[in-house]
Structure 1
């Protein structure tokens, strides 16, 4: 398939799936003895087939470049104000990263420019008010970390390493991020310090502090750089 056509297909299908009505809308009233409706079955099957389509795209060209071509269309949805949309985005990211981490034929030697953005997004949503999103974010970070250290031989205790522990994210990913990627994480954290969602704003503070400590930077440096427009931040 032509690369541009594939990109357009991904963008449109991702929008269609992520914007589906919440599953709660299709559920029968609580306490009802009526079995699952046909619409619920259709919804579940749609999600299942769609995720299979994405992993099939990965299997056709098993590389970080292919993964990035998908994530570039899904990452923005992780910040959606709608629970159902960001829930699907985080779950999709988790499924994709899990698939990559479990297949040894993947070429992980390539550059991964989206790494900083992805680490920032998932870290912020460790503190999401929706518990499932927090758990899915922790699992996604676990798989991402596994991918980054694929050529190293040491034990990783599991997704619980990151859940409710943003400081661990900085220690785990700090050495794998380029200066520009660390810049993305820090700026993303700063952008979220004043959002209305208190859990996310607090997570942003923890994420910012953790990466500053890991990089040996001072808050005053951040203030001056931010006031200067973020140019040459690191």
Structure 2
């Protein structure tokens, strides 16, 4: 089992049991305890666990990473205002990508009556839109991440490259002037990046808690985004610095 698969299993176990044993993991994967310690080190650097004697314990970040339903309730009012602002930029006849994630799922509920084509890798978005009489829905296949409820991988990226969309509505785990867009998950990030590359306009939907926040995997520069739609941007000097890159900032009304 490769390192990334091991680390994903460790996070799943932490989410379920709140702590994991170094010895138990080494035996399960038939690797040395030193190998598991290295996995712990990487995950601790990402903020996903805290190392303790003989194992590790979960951090709050895992709650946000693995539970779609729990994440739906995080910053719910902000996500609602963001998606309502995004809706104003979707016109009948548009071909759009909708990325995975809880904010983008809220957007799907708002576009049900639009006459548009939606291309998505998100299982919740598919479920939300599949019976809409006005939506033309295209499902992007690939490997399935049950926790993120989305497809990913080489097949997913290759299929996305066959499309040319008017707009991509995407998410990220962080955006900053120094690193641009970043993500907790490199596989998910590559899908998002490919959607952005295949679109005429890119809309990043993220709440204000993610502004000037970095995750470990760099996804794209700020210049790859046309519009940032967020719930608030109260630091006017910082907002000006973002706008100086060419980014247009839209704030929703809570």
Relative to the length of structure 2, the TM-score reads: 0.30
Higher normalized strand content (fraction of residues): 2
Higher normalized helix content (fraction of residues): 1
